[in-house]
Structure 1
Amino acid sequence: MPAMLRRRRARGLTLIELLLFVVVVGIALAAMLQVFVAATQASADPMIRRQQLAIAESLLREIQLMPFTWCDPDDANVEAASGTSGCATTVENIGPEAGETRYGPTYFDNVNDYQGFTMSGIRDIGNAAVSGLSGYAASVSVAPAALDSLSAAGEALKITVTITGPDASTLVLQGWRTRYAPQSPY
């Protein structure tokens, strides 16, 4: 009986088995650490992408809420004109009228005015820099385009907002603005 007890007590891990266990666990931990490092390095990318999307959506919404009329919104016939011939003084063309800017004192007053607009470092409508967005840039393109059944010239505008992030990545967001005939400038 004492020999049997000794055999039971002698059971356990040998030095070789213990070393193999440490090596296997070390390899597994190293592989898991690599996954965590890769995830941490890429964790800033979604934040930049989300910020680009938020900026683009905000700017696109601002533009789409502008009037889209045949005449400049300051024209006396703006609400009645059913074409450019109905304007009393100023026909609305692509691009801002002289002196108009997003920041005033004479503000953009039509969707068309945003054609060619750019800003480096995101600024609010009052021209104040938005904290934390100095590394971003925005550009806008507004162009007449056919939209399904609205193939008549000048009835729809395609608005393209491009945002460049601090890592030089770009995000492009497009939207449409249609003309509501003829009496509603909004």
Structure 2
Amino acid sequence: MSANRTPTLPSGRCPPRGPLQRTGKAGSTQDLGWDGAPRVRKATTKAQGGFTLVEMIVAIVILGVGLAGVMVAFSTAVRGSADPVIHQQLLAIAEEMIEEIQLKPYAASPNGAPAGCARDTYNDVADYNGYAPGKVCTVDGTEVAALAGYAVGVSVGSATLGGVGEALRIVVTASKGSQSLSLVGWRTNYAQGSAP
């Protein structure tokens, strides 16, 4: 046998140059290999699944716009979340001061002048009128370091409350920067007929 010899089929015939075809049922044809056996066809490859470059760029742009919107909303919420803390602190300062004032007697009595922002010599409600040290201090006049930047002011004036002529209207305003909070309280002369 020579090396250049063409292979032969088992019947001794040479294979045809083109693919062999056999007619099957209902007129379908089947390709045959050089040896007459059915040839296995490779499945035609469809376009591979995945995204094109354009689709990826569009998806990135859409996700970027969506994330930017979420970040704007998140930063707005975070920026405003400190404000309730300041508001609660202003409320606590104002409530403490108005409670302190309302516990004092209605009737005016002589007292000594306080030193600095002290309130330890105040012995009646009217003594607090005009109190505005520009900071928050304890009763004895010690500045509260943790409340630096906060301020409190008080005004007390005569008013009528629901037909009661002897009433004092107390307005306490606590502030920090541009934020402020005012509380209004009342003190009546409910003990006018009783001895101290």
Q: Same fold (TM over 0.5)?
A: yes
TM category (shorter chain) comes to 0.7 to 0.9
Q: Which aligned segments of 4 or more residues in structure 1 are displaced greater than 4 angstroms?
A: none
Matched, 1:22 2:36: no
Residue number in structure 1 paired with 2:125: 111
- 2:183 aligned to which of 167, 173, 177: 173
Partners of 1:16 and 1:176 lie apart in 2 by 71
Residue number in structure 1 paired with 2:174: 163
Partners of 1:172 and 1:184 lie apart in 2 by 34
What TM-score do you get using the length of structure 2 for normalisation? 0.70
Partners of 2:55 and 2:42 lie apart in 1 by 27
Matched, 1:129 2:158: no
Task: Indicate if the aligned counterparts of 1:140 and 1:160 stay in contact, CA closer than 8 A.
Answer: yes
Residue number in structure 2 paired with 1:81: none
Task: Indicate if the aligned counterparts of 2:157 and 2:170 stay in contact, CA closer than 8 A.
Answer: yes
Quick one: percent identity of the two aligned structures?
A: 37
What TM-score do you get using the length of structure 1 for normalisation? 0.74
Q: Secondary structure at the match of 1:132?
A: helix
Larger Rg: 2
Partners of 2:104 and 2:111 lie apart in 1 by 18
Task: Indicate if the aligned counterparts of 2:111 and 2:122 stay in contact, CA closer than 8 A.
Answer: no
Task: Indicate if the aligned counterparts of 1:116 and 1:142 stay in contact, CA closer than 8 A.
Answer: yes
Task: Indicate if the aligned counterparts of 1:120 and 1:134 stay in contact, CA closer than 8 A.
Answer: no
Change (3 A) 1:111 1:168: same
Matched, 1:142 2:153: no
* 5+ residue gaps, structure 1: 73-96
Residue number in structure 2 paired with 1:84: none
Matched, 1:100 2:117: no
Identify the structure with the greater strand proportion: 2
